Structure 1
């Protein structure tokens, strides 16, 4: 197939090569998220991504530095994750109440993001799930243990996470009166 474009047509339809390449790389995310896909390549990448929440990684506000660390010298995975981050960063319209706790470049301690697998498996995903709207402050550690059934041995994990949430996220949650979760302290 041959295309005979005039110079006028070429300027009418400019091709952004970076966007085109990012779109191709992002198409692999769709293949990865397809639950019917049991290809060996997917199983290989699942093993790598499992310790970061598996498909959760595609929802997180993650820095390119951390993405490269996750990919651990796997150039293909690094390229796909970077492209996905670039594309979704441009589309981001979420409020802070929907801010994901895990792998979030804005919530760090010693320049490292958080991912508590045991908390994630108990459906703790968003910042506002740790927030008590009645008293306009974060739940106490004992309340978190009670509500989500987390281990009472992990006070330091809780304290480090809560103290690492930046003030701008905390203040936006304070002004938001609508919790995004149904978890309620009884």
Structure 2
């Protein structure tokens, strides 16, 4: 029997998208994570579900492929901010490192955050409070995930533990939407 410790990435992305919609955004872009990362698909599902429930159809040209890297964020930013193209009022990046890249491109082009565009991320990477504006993001309970995984492994290794495990081996841990300065109301 396999074990898992995770957070509800689809729900987290759904709540972040609802937050953007609640701030008045209806034109929202999205940067996908690495195509081989299961969580990336869940984050996009949460995003599209929130848009659908709000009666918003995602624009295919505002969905960019990323790879969870700063460099892919730069490429996404260049694509979003290309001259003459309509751009979203907000961009939800599947992780903070890509958000940092998008923010760098915006700032180089004189696009103000959050006055001209709102940008948010996912993961609460350490840099999200080191850059300005500080990034609105989803905090994953990384330390709690590690402790829960260790607890499950220790339970499986217990020679006195026979039959069904005494501890839940599939755990869903909570996330937190961290509201900072990179999202503005419109």
Q: TM-score normalized by structure 1?
A: 0.24
Structure with the bigger percentage of helix: 1
* Larger gyration radius, structure 1 or structure 2: 1
Q: TM-score normalized by structure 2?
A: 0.24
Structure with the greater relative contact order (CA < 8 A, sep ≥ 6): 1 or 2?
Answer: 2
